[in-house]
Structure formats: C-alpha cells, structure tokens
Amino acid sequence: MLADLTRVTITTKKSIHAKKFAKLVFDDGTILDGDGFGYSTTVFGEIVFNTGMVGYTEALTDPSYSGQILTLTYPLVGNYGVPDPSIVDEDGIPKFFESSKIQARGLVVHELSLTASHWNLSMTLDEWMYNEKIPGISGIDTRELTKKLRTSGVMMAALVVSDSEIDVDEIKKQLESAPHYDSEQFMDDVSTKEEKIYGDDENTVVVIDTGAKHAILRNVRDIGYKVVLLPWNTTYEKIMSYNPKGIVLSSGPGDPQKCPDTIDVVKKLIQDNVPTLGICLGAQIIGIAGNTETYKLKYGHRGQNKPCVNLENNQVYVTSQNHGYGIKPESLDKSDFNLWFTNADDKTVEGIKHKTKNCIAVQFHPEAAPGPYDCKFVFEELKQLMEKN
C-alpha cells in the first residue's frame, strides 16, 4: 500500500510552551543566554555536539546520549516535526524512535523552526520535549559553542529553562556538586530488565542490551534471525541457554569500564569462539575483553558523515557515529585484534577483528538511524561468521 504522503503542517508564532528565561552554564564559568522551549526545568550533564543535518528524533532517543546535553550544529532544527511514536514494524519495533523515551538530558539549537511540515508529522519538537519533560534552549550560536568544545574538550554544563529569573550563582553551586558524566552508571536505566523476543525464526541472535537502539534489533531481524534481547549483566550460562548462533553487543552510554560484568561475559564468548559483533560501546567492551585499552576522546565523534577506511579493501565508507570514548590505537599491538577500520579524519580506531576467533567490532553505527546505510554489510559479516560456525 502506498503511504499517505499528504503533507501536515503546524505553524506556531513562538514555542507554545515558551519560557522567558533560559541559560546554559558551563563548568568553566561561561554563561550563554537563549530562549527556552520544551519543559521548564534544570538539568546537568556533559555538553556535546552533533554535526548531523537531520535525525533529531533518532538522536534524542538514542540511549547513548543519556547523561548528555546535546547541541545540534545544523542551524535550523524542528522543521519536519516528530512522527507518531506508536508506529511499529511487523516485529513490534518502533519505526522512527530508537528507544521508548528521550534519552538526552537537554537540547541546544540555534533556531527552533516555528513551522513543522512533513507527511509523517504528529507533533512539533517543542511539544514532544514538553511532554517528555526535557528542556531546550534556542538562540545559541551553536557553531561558536562547537568551536569552544573542540578547543577545550567536552565539559559538564547546566541547562536551565525557567518561568522566573534564574539565580546563576545557585546554578553554579549545583553544577559543582552534580555527578560527573564520567562517573555515572547508566546501565540500570537504559538496559532492559527482562528478556524480550522479536520474531520467530529458527535461529537466534542474542543482543546484549547495554543501551541498544531499535535499529540494531531491526538489522539483526533483516539478516534472518530471531532476536533475544537480554539485560546488560546476563550471565554467560543464561545467554548460552538460548542456543544462540551469534551475539551482538549493543551501543550504549558512558565509560565501557562501567560494564565489568559484560566484559567478563565477552571474555568467555571469545574463548568459546561464539560469533560476536560489537557496536560502539559493544566494540569498546570487546576491545577491553581482548586486551586493548580505552580512553576518552577530547570532544568525541558525533555526526552522520564520518569517513572510515576499511583496511581490507582500502575503501572509504561514510558512517554515522556517536561516541566519546575509543580504543587506544597503540594498545592494539599487544592485543588479540587486528585493526579493521580507521577514521580518515583523525586516524582513531573504528573497527577491529579478532586475530583467531569469530569476533568483530565497529566503533561506528552500521545500523545508521540516523545516518547513511553504507555499512549495513557489517551485519552480513556477522551472518557469515554464524553460517560458517
């Protein structure tokens, strides 16, 4: 059936829940004023930037943005609105949202579009954020802000949206005592509490949920496997009780060192040669399990046009990325892995393959959402490992 492509347009004179006062307060003392939208509240988190031109629905619901205040460098945001969250695919996986809620703590934009127009629109960005109790600030020079973060590195910040005058000194005090992003433990919030099953194919892939995006589940379904989604700290014995053909370690928020249980499980998966694919946080966890080290990048990679070189064929792929940690290039030499992909911009590690076992991992997002589909073949590589096993 053809989709109904009738265009829906919503125009508002200003943010419907417009708040007079909005400020960004950085832990280096910088204060930026703007216009509030979304929900009136104060949040604290690591402020990061994403250079994608589209994809705010997917980015905001990506669990990897938990604990972070997301800045979008593209200057006009909200012009295609937000789709209906209840639309799901044939497996019951939401089609347009990467998880069940907005995961970023707040949103920073240059201009919030007052007109939203799209065939698939069900509400404005402002309404959605209001409903989800997430604050937003517009009128910020996001390019200048990006230059600042590129120079000094990501840092903690407060985003305040308020109906009354903001007491900056009080916010500064609260920011000082707010938990630092690097020390936060996100798994209990982002991981499923119980097993979830998608599809009824004969063969199973277990996805270990350290903050999985829906697109990861959909891509595993697309290569023809039933998906069993399990909590981040499921034991090796429990995982193997599903008789999986392979395992996917998902993306997710925070420092990979905060997932020691998952690291221990991966050591056993590698030892027993169970076909395994790691994505982003999952790649870092696999790296640690196979004797590499991880580190924090100065300002991370967040965008949809990050060039990566596949060293097997010397071809460059355009990839979607969202990470603040990485695998130390110099730690690969003494590890169990060979370098598979490297970042063409800064030569950081973007993919690794185990030297002897069926274990592969990519730092970028082959599932895209948002972003290009160039690297879908990574799921096919997992399939090949599972079929030859």
Ligand X SMILES: NC(=O)CC[C@H](N)C(=O)O
Residue 296's CB is within 10 A of a number of other CB atoms, namely 14
Cα-based distances in Å from 199 to 143, 205, 224, 275: 44, 11, 9, 20
Nearest approach in angstroms of CB 375 to ligand X is 14
Pick from 94, 231, 252, 371 the residue near ligand X by CB under 6 A: 252
Please, which residue, 148 or 323, has the CB nearer to ligand X? 323
Residue 68 to residue 37: CA distance in whole angstroms? 17
> Which residues carry out catalysis?
280, 365, 367
Please state the separation of Cα 65 from the chain's center in Å.
5
Q: Is 370 in the site for ligand X (CB under 6 A)?
A: no
Please, which residue, 22 or 265, has the CB nearer to ligand X? 265
- Fill in the per-residue mask, 61 to 100: x = in contact with ligand X (CB under 6 A), - = not in contact: ---x------------------------------------
Pick from 36, 85, 253, 275 the residue near ligand X by CB under 6 A: 253
Nearest approach in angstroms of CB 354 to ligand X is 19
Pick from 280, 352, 368, 382 the residue near ligand X by CB under 6 A: 280
Residue 8 to residue 11: CA distance in whole angstroms? 10
Stretch that binds ligand X, among 2-10, 29-37, 249-257, 367-375 (CB under 6 A): 249-257
Residue 330's CB is within 10 A of a number of other CB atoms, namely 11
Residue 246's CB is within 10 A of a number of other CB atoms, namely 24
Q: Is 322 in the site for ligand X (CB under 6 A)?
A: yes
Residue 317 to residue 305: CA distance in whole angstroms? 9
62 neighbors 94 (Cβ within 8 angstroms): no
Q: Are strands 294-310 and 315-327 parallel, antiparallel or unpaired?
A: antiparallel
Please, which residue, 280 or 289, has the CB nearer to ligand X? 280
Q: Is 323 in the site for ligand X (CB under 6 A)?
A: yes
Stretch that binds ligand X, among 33-41, 103-111, 261-269, 320-328 (CB under 6 A): 320-328
Nearest approach in angstroms of CB 337 to ligand X is 17
Please, which residue, 34 or 324, has the CB nearer to ligand X? 324
Nearest approach in angstroms of CB 246 to ligand X is 19
Residue 376 to residue 365: CA distance in whole angstroms? 9
Strand partners, 276: 247, 359
Cα-based distances in Å from 269 to 12, 136, 205, 235, 277: 53, 42, 13, 11, 11
Nearest approach in angstroms of CB 324 to ligand X is 4
Residue 146 phi, psi (nearest 5): -65, -40
Binding interface with ligand X (CB under 6 A): 64, 251-254, 280-281, 322-325
Which residues does the annotation place in the binding site? 64, 252, 254, 281, 284, 322, 324-325
